[in-house]
Structure 1
Amino acid sequence: MTVKKRWLATLSGVLVVLVCAVGGTQAAQAYDSNVIHPDGTRVTETDGASAGDRAAAAWRPDITPLHTSNNEAVFRNQTTFWRNALLNGCKAGRACIAVGQGDGLHTVFVLYQCDTRTLTNFIDAGAINNNQSDDAVVVFTGPGAIGRHYPDGEVHGFNPLPYDRVDPC
């Protein structure tokens, strides 16, 4: 390799590093998550990931049916701070279940009605606060697996992978 070719190869390598560094900084500054807290306030956070990075890795956890007309709710795209706030603030008589979305954010479900539900894309780490009465046990089931969460008003982590159904009480 001639001296001129080595110099051009070195220069192009330096340019690639500079372009990546500047482009990454701009993407981090440009990302605005605009998280909506359940109380209606908008929280703006910058976490260093671009919206495109998040979308490529994310999945959408779901519980069906969700009875929104009967005091049930879902809060998607929550930061860890708001996930924890929702779990710790779970109202009496409710079961609050959180699961990761694969993009650093979380979905939190607030369940009230007693019937078996189907879980979809419960892949990432989960947490639950069963804040119901003394005899309302949240039961997760799946092929060869069963998990019970007794009401104590505390947040507990769990692995949602083996489960495909939940009965909140």
Structure 2
Amino acid sequence: MSGQELPELPGELEEFLDKPYGGLFGNTVLAQVVEEIVADPTMDYRPGYLEEMTGKKAPSIREALKTLVKLGLIENVSSDVQHPVYRVVVESKKFIALSLLAYAVLDDRDGTDCMNTAILDYYNRSLRAKVEPLAVATNYAGEWTTGEDCSAREAESEYSIFSVGA
């Protein structure tokens, strides 16, 4: 750890400490399963493992998994009907939003900055190429320069100056 002292958790929030997403969705089986799969999206999940991790019974775990498959948050990657194996659909916007929410709960509780880091990472990986221009063109009404004059202006500017001739 960094040796930094974290703020003390207010007493009224202690009851939510062990609940999924800080108690936002209650303490349902579905919320517990979602918390587990968001915490480690690279793992393949079997119902028995989730029963063990949540302390819930097989029928309620199966129902939660069935719901999450319908919602497109997980998929069954096993061809064996008797022994299903589930994997998180990490491309799902729901998964991304739930991950950011998990970071937000941590940030609010611990005074950290995890969500902003995750948002920046998501932006750089998924959005930057879609929203930032590759080049900027302007209608220049001034005088055109070449050679040394151009190099001097380029050094003062944050933009690279180039010319195209016909």
Query: Is the TM value for this pair above 0.5?
Result: no
Rg comparison, structure with higher value: 2
Greater percentage in helix: 2
Q: Normalization by structure 1: what TM-score?
A: 0.22
